[in-house]
Amino acid sequence: MLTVGRVHTVQVPDPTDAPGTPHVPATMNVLNRDTRLCISLSGRPSNIGTRFHNYLYAALGMNFVYKAMTTDDIAGAVTGIRALGIRGCGVSMPFKEDVLGLVDVVHDSAAAIDSVNTIVNDDGVLHAYNTDYQAVARLLAEHSVSGNHTAAVAGSGGMAKAVVAAVRAAGVTECVVAARNERTGRALAERYGFTWAPDLADRSPDVLINATPIGMAGGPDADTLAFTREAVDRASLVFDVVASPPDTPLVRAATDAGTPVVTGAQVIALQAAEQFVLYTGVRPADDLIAAASVYSRE
């Protein structure tokens, strides 16, 4: 019996696996009336989250299934989460702010930045969280980003809110929020004592972070760089939250320049692991999460 609310660390070793090779469980659960459904809502759904969560469900023998979706009626979709007993929902661009007024309980991680990336349905009560912030903060820490660095964040939407908050928490005091929308960009920048600008102009920050859909597969800017090539060449770290494709134009440009890169796939793996815990009450072991992350990108 799974007890939601109590977090258990679970490891499923497979001695037949070659080192570094994700094991795909041989037997998937058969759907039945007791199967719990989790979904994601995104403007441009990908298979990354679907493969990540379903890999873990299968590996742990859990009666869950995960499906990526999109909608042109976000209010109706959230009503459906409650009405249909959908256990959890990942929320991606462009819905992260839209759902704030549609849930019942907004937890600190979402309230602090006015942005939601996770909804958990507890018997008809919809709880909102933000695990993006946790993921970005951890990745910045792993790359030793601190008050010694300058930064630029492209965007002013829901994902940008999580990124800018994490940049400030890392100790950065000099950051430009580069956003086309002056109202939202200036408000976000001023909230954390940063500067707004419509673009970088001739600035050369140490850390460049794209928190817009620029470079996303299937979008109008799929082949566009979020920052100039000159800024990328001068940066000490380039960070792109776009996960599909994993090798966005920005990631490729940074790789060509020999600049350290953080990819959207890394963000998804970390934030999705925290979502998995919220949905199921189970925390998989780190190596199982790593295997799920590799599988999700194949």
Give catalytic residues, as residue numbers.
96
- Using alpha carbons, select from 155, 128, 125 the residue that is nearest to residue 239: 155
Count CB-CB contacts under 10 A for residue 29.
15
**SS3 assignment for 136-176:** HHHHHHHCCCCCCCEEEEECCCHHHHHHHHHHHHCCCCEEE
Tell me the C-alpha distance between 251 and 5, whole Å. Answer: 38
Helix or strand run (H / E) with residue 282: strand 282-284
Q: What b-and-e string marks burial along 36-72, b requiring 16 or more CB atoms within 10 Å of the CB?
A: bbbbbbbebbbebbbbbbbbbbbbbebebbbebeeee
Tell me the C-alpha distance between 111 and 130, whole Å. Answer: 9
Say whether 122 sits in a helix, a strand or coil: strand
